[in-house]
Amino acid sequence: ILRRDTVTLVLELADLAELHRDTLMAGRTHAQQALPITFGFKVATWVAEGVRQVERLDETAPRLFVGQLAGAVGTLAGFGPRGEAVQRAAFARLGLGVPPIAWHASRDTITEFVTLIALIGATLARIANEVVQLQRSEIGELEEPFAPGKVGSSTMPHKRNPAHAERIVAIGRLLRGLATTALETAVAAHERDMSVGRAEWVVVPEAACLVAAALHWSLVVIRGLGVNTARMKENLQRLGGLLLSEAVMLRLAETLGRHVAHDLVYEAAMAAFEGRGSFRELLLADARVRAALDAEDLDRLLDPAAYVGLAGSFVDRVVREARRLNT
């Protein structure tokens, strides 16, 4: 069930990435506009992470799905000479693998499973947190599904809160806490220690139920996600070309050198931030810029669509990889 729902979400995300392969938006670092990207590129990073989680589930399965039937301390002493045959027959009926030795006190596979669940939860929380952040009133680029009658606040009727996404983020936090407890259960005493087993009775089912809920709500959010492409375009222009400063600097560096070009563009950018003119005007006011570029060259450099690198190719690559997953 966990693998099925994870793959389903990855494929939904792959469709979303492909749909918005070339949808321009601002890339952000340190919560500030940095360089142009496409929304498809952003989603493709979620897809790639999801693919890795599916791969981890597949890698973990042979270690996890093994039986335990080995007597009190794991030696099969009470079973006599037919101990291994009994063990193999029992596990075959249950569809489980045969471990090389008893794992009464070796809880690493249980710990691995809960930690992997927490990793999947972290991926879901990262996606959901991006929805929360980009649904801010000041940004408005994404919005989780909204239906008439959905109430965001009992006192503020205007609120359209990202409640589903916030729920996923909260579940991610709970899962990371459970992973910490699971790591504690990896330290068992002697040949059997039920102090760890009793903790696992709580941790494993709770983690499984929580990640199932997070996957459910993630599918709800992604399937109904509102993508405001007009707002993405508007936000791209919010800094008046400043997020293309790297493109301008690298072009000027070809004739002026890297350090001179950086200082020149930095001074123009800081002046633009302080309201002393537009970035474009301040650049063209510098004789060194005019000697290297004409206005048309500069306008081409300040076009966000011309500076997304290989974003589209990366989307294509990741989408192909996702669609090769065995469902």
Question: Annotated catalytic sites, by residue?
Answer: 30, 153
Pair 139, 197: CB distance under 8 Å = no
277: its two tokens = 């003119």
Beta bridge partners of 66: 97
Pair 235, 138: CB distance under 8 Å = no
DSSP designation for 305: G
Interatomic CA distance for residues 107 and 117, integer angstroms: 16
Across 312-327, b (16+ Cβ under 10 Å) vs e yields: eebbbebbebbeebee
Pair 116, 2: CB distance under 8 Å = no
Three-class DSSP category at 65? coil
Interatomic CA distance for residues 107 and 116, integer angstroms: 14
Cα 157 to its chain centre, rounded Å, is 32
299: its two tokens = 């306008």
CA-based nearest residue to 69, from 92, 44, 37: 92
Residue position matching structure tokens 């809960």: 114
Pair 44, 318: CB distance under 8 Å = yes
Give the H or E element holding residue 222. helix 194-223
Task: List % helix, strand, coil for the chain (3-state, nearest 5).
Answer: 65, 5, 30
Residue position matching structure tokens 């001074």: 267
Pair 23, 227: CB distance under 8 Å = yes
